[in-house]
Amino acid sequence: MAHSRRDFVSGMAAIPLLMAGEGLPDKRSFPFSGTYLNAAFAHPLGAAGLAGAQAHLQARTYEVERSWPRVNSRDAAVAAFAGLIHAAASEIAVVPSTMEGENLVAAAVGLGPGAGVVTDAFHYDASLAMYGELQRGGVPVAVVAPRGNAMDLRDFEAAITKGTRLVAVSLVSSLTGFTHDLKALCEIAHAKGALVYADIIQAAGAMPLDVHQSGVDFCCCGTYKWLMGDFGTGFLYVRADRLDSLKRVQLGWRQLMASRHHVYPFDAPGAAIGDWMLRRDTVGRFEVSTPDWMALSMVTASIGYVQGIGVEAIQRHRQALLDRLETEMPKLGFAALTPNRGGPIASFAYQGVAKRFGGALAAAKIKISVYENIVRISPSVYNDLEDIERLLRIFRP
C-alpha cells in the first residue's frame, strides 16, 4: 500500500467526505506501505491523528500566553471518549495507560487479605502477573479457566464468593479475541456484592460499547489501538456512584481544588505545610499530574474520525474480512480460536506457525501478530478483501 505525500495530504482533505458517509476502505488516510493486519497490536496513525498533532504543535509554538497547564486538549479528548462509550465526561479520568488504570482501580477498591479478586486466563498477561503478585502478598485470587475457546459465566458465578471485592477481565481477549457478555457478568458480580473492572483497549472504537447499559463499574483503555491515537495516554471510566467507596491512592496537582501558603511575604499566618482542598470527583481521585496534551489532541481528532464513520459501520466492514478468514483458514489446517461475536480479532492455532511462515510473511511485507503456535489477525478501516487474499496466499500450499 504505497502512497506519496501528495496522496496523504489528499487523504487528510478527504476526511470530511468519509465522515459524511463516503465509505470504506479508507486507504488514502493511512499512508503506510505493505499489508498491515495488526491493528490489535498498534493501530497506524492516520490523517486525523496527524492533523491533531500538528494543531497542537502549532498552538504550543505560537500561543505562548495560553495558560497551558489549565487550558489544553484534555477536556475535548475526555468529552470525545465519553461520547464514544456513552458515559458522562465527569466519569472519565486521564491516566498514562490501561495498566496504570487497572493498578489504580486495584488499589482504590482496597484489595487485601479479606478482599479478593476473580479474573480469567484470557485477561491481559501483565494483569494476571499483577494479581499473581498481589496473591503472594495475601490477596485471594481466583482465575477462571476457559472451556474450549470461551469463558463460561457459570464458572464466574462459582468463583465469586463473599470475600470477592473485584472481578477483572479483558472485555475482548487480546490474544484470542473472545468477547465477554459484560452486562451478564456485571449482573452476576453485583448480585454477589463484587465490583467489575473491564480492560476495553480491544473494544473501544472497534465495537459498540455503552458502559451505563452494561453496568460496569470501571474500565480503561489506552489510545493507540482502535482509538487510532498515540502512546502514553489513556482513559479511565469510574461509575459515578462508586466514587465515595474508593480510596485515594495517589495525589498530585490535578486533584487540588485550592491551596494556600503561609510562609511567603504577606501570607496569612498558618502551618508551614499550608492549607489545601481536594476535589472529590473522578479527576480528584485518579488524575495526578500533567497529561500528554499532544496525544490527547491526536485522539480527539481520531475519535472524531471514528465517530464520523460510525463504530457500527467500522464493525460491519471489518466483519466481512474476518468472515473470510474464518471460512478459509480452517481449510489450511488452522484451528479457529475466536468465537465470532463482533470483536476486532481473529486468532488461529497452528503448531510451529512462526517457524514455518514467519519468513514468508516478512518477505511479502504482511504484518500480523505471529506467536510460536498462534496467529492473530486484526484488520481495520484501511483493509479490504484483497489484503485478506494476500495473507491467505502465504498460508496456502
Q: Tens digits of per-residue pLDDT, 281-321?
A: 999 999 999 999 999 999 999 999 999 999 999 999 999 99
Q: How confident is the model at residue 70 (pLDDT cuts 50, 70, 90)?
A: confident
Q: Which long-range contacts (CB under 8 A, 24 or more apart) does 217-220 make?
A: 217/186, 217/242, 218/101, 218/105, 218/242, 219/85, 219/171, 220/95, 220/98, 220/101, 220/102, 220/105
Please tell me the distance from the alpha carbon of residue 181 to that of residue 203, in angstroms, as a whole number: 12
CB-based burial, 303-318: b 16+ in 10 Å, e otherwise: bbbbebbebeebbebb
pLDDT at 3: 42
Which run of H or of E encompasses 389? Answer: helix 385-395
Among residues 153, 131, 149, which one has the least CA distance to residue 140?
131
pLDDT in tens, 210-222: 999 999 999 999 9
pLDDT at position 387 over 60: yes
Cell numbers representing residue 201 in the block: 483497549
Among residues 375, 395, 343, 391, which one has the least CA distance to residue 175?
375
pLDDT at 261: 97
Q: Does the 5-44+310-395 domain belong in CATH 3.30.1360.70?
A: no
Give mean pLDDT, residues 166-177. Answer: 98
Mean pLDDT of the chain: 94
Q: Say how far residue 354 (Cα) sits from the centre of its chain.
A: 27
* Domain locations in the chain as residue ranges: 5-44+310-395, 74-305
If DSSP codes are grouped into helix, strand and coil, which group holds residue 128?
helix
Among residues 297, 381, 301, 380, which one has the least CA distance to residue 16?
301
β-strand pairing of 366-367 with 35-36 = parallel
* Cis peptide leading into residue 69 (ω within 30°): no
Please tell me the distance from the alpha carbon of residue 28 to that of residue 278, in angstroms, as a whole number: 47
Q: Which residue did the predictor score with more confidence, 3 or 53? A: 53
Give mean pLDDT, residues 7-29. Answer: 59
pLDDT at position 39 over 80: yes
Cell numbers representing residue 300 in the block: 480527539
361 near 370, Cβ under 8 Å? yes
Give mean pLDDT, residues 174-191. Answer: 98
- Specify the pTM: 0.93
If DSSP codes are grouped into helix, strand and coil, which group holds residue 324?
helix
**Alpha-helix residue ranges (DSSP H) falling in 64-181:** 74-85, 98-108, 125-136, 153-159
CB-based burial, 332-365: b 16+ in 10 Å, e otherwise: eebebbbeeebbbbbbbbbeebeeebeeebeeee
Third-level CATH fold of 74-305: Aspartate Aminotransferase; domain 2 (3.40.640)
pLDDT at 20: 38
Q: How confident is the model at residue 22 (pLDDT cuts 50, 70, 90)?
A: low
Place of cell 458465578: 157
**Alpha-helix residue ranges (DSSP H) falling in 177-247:** 182-191, 211-214
Give mean pLDDT, residues 60-69. Answer: 92
pLDDT at 341: 75
pLDDT at position 79 over 80: yes
Please tell me the distance from the alpha carbon of residue 81 to that of residue 88, in angstroms, as a whole number: 9
pLDDT at 375: 98
Q: How confident is the model at residue 69 (pLDDT cuts 50, 70, 90)?
A: confident
β-strand pairing of 218-222 with 195-199 = parallel
Give mean pLDDT, residues 258-273. Answer: 97
pLDDT at position 195 over 50: yes
Please tell me the distance from the alpha carbon of residue 197 to that of residue 177, in angstroms, as a whole number: 18
CA distances from 365 to 153, 222, 386 (A): 40, 27, 14
Percent of the chain with pLDDT over 70: 94
pLDDT at position 147 over 80: yes
- Rg of the Cα atoms in the chain: 23
Give mean pLDDT, residues 325-336. Answer: 98
